Amino acid sequence: MRPTPHLMRAVASATQRQNSVSFIGLGRMGSEMAYNLFARTLVESNGTARFIVCDAREATSETFMRNFVTHFPGAQVQIANTPAEALRASRTVVTMLPSSPHVRNVYVEEDGIVSALRSLPSEVAQSTLCIDSTTLDVAVACTVAGEVERAGAAIVDAPVSGGVAGAKAAALSFLVGGPEKAFKLAYPHLLHMGKNVIYCGDSGAGLVAKICNNLILGVQQIVVAESMLLGQKLGLDPQVLASVINSSTGACWASSVNNPAPGALPDKAPPCERDYDGGFATSLMLKDMGLATDLADSTGTPLPLGNAAEKIYADVVSEDPELSNKDFSSVYRYLRVSRHL
């Protein structure tokens, strides 16, 4: 029996979906991650893969598409207007969003991923993998994962460590939570965007690991800023002080890579050399500190330094709103001019 035109279209659509990857959320991190994921998948597929991007701002999607096609002429990149469209177009969907409300919106609200999954034949839904790299509330993530799994698809939480520089260099660390089967499906895609992929346990475990890591980072960045300011007040050259710290027991990423004092790292280009533009926004670090203190409250875990750091970042954002979207190392600038501390 010859296939009808409708069946032929259905088969073609299924084939395209199997060979497609969608990326939702093209912010500072997401755009770099999507670029590396698409570029390496394109090479791996010998140029046959198809890509779909989706962002709340269509202009952002258009800019990304133009840039990618400029570097990879002939690449198939399309723009989805909704998360549901992105899901229907691809078997693999990666999301990188600002916070919990955005994840709920993309996954479970109208025109979201879950509603799209429910509209698909069961065998198609069951072949779908969702990877969420957002740092968000653990309870929200587990609820969303349950909705996705009940709709038939697999999902992992895979928050990242490494910042914008790590995303650009495909050197991120992925901290993954979810069923082991889903982790194994996600692993090759994550390797296209990073160099370390660590399985942390069941759904939500990757987020717990990420929040604990960022709790350390948020506290460290403040004390590095304090140390650099104190040393300079007492006459030390910032490059000399940074060299001491980075070769001694105070060494940490917040000093050796993201040092907040201009001139401290002449062989590198931390955000402080660009008036703190780029990098990890202070507002996002405040969000992560809030996630940590919320978890601490719910488990009865004392966080004296975490609570103090959260208040400092909150003060930075409220008292100097310009720093909200600048790298969180701009806490150095806030402390330098603050009259309240």
Residue 278 to residues 24, 96, 275, 324, 330: CA-CA distances in angstroms?
20, 17, 9, 12, 11
Provide the token pair at 28: 């500072």
**210 is an active site residue:** yes
Residue 168 to residues 29, 71, 259, 285, 336: CA-CA distances in angstroms?
8, 15, 19, 19, 30
Please state, in angstroms and rounded to a whole number, the distance separating the CA atoms of residues 94 and 15.
19
Please state, in angstroms and rounded to a whole number, the distance separating the CA atoms of residues 41 and 205.
27
- Residues making up the chain, counted from first to last: 341
Phi-psi region of 74 (alpha: psi -120 to 50; beta: other; left: phi over 0): left
Residue 325 to residues 96, 154, 160, 278, 329: CA-CA distances in angstroms?
17, 34, 19, 8, 11
What letter would DSSP give residue 140?
Answer: H
Please state, in angstroms and rounded to a whole number, the distance separating the CA atoms of residues 32 and 258.
19
Q: Determine which one of 168, 210, 287, 326 is catalytic.
A: 210
**Cβ 189 vs Cβ 94: under 8 Å:** yes
Per residue in 282-317, is it b (16+ CB within 10 Å) or e — as a string?
A: bbbbbbbbbbbbebbeeeeeebeebeebbebbebbb
**Cβ 304 vs Cβ 318: under 8 Å:** no
Catalytic annotation, residues: 210
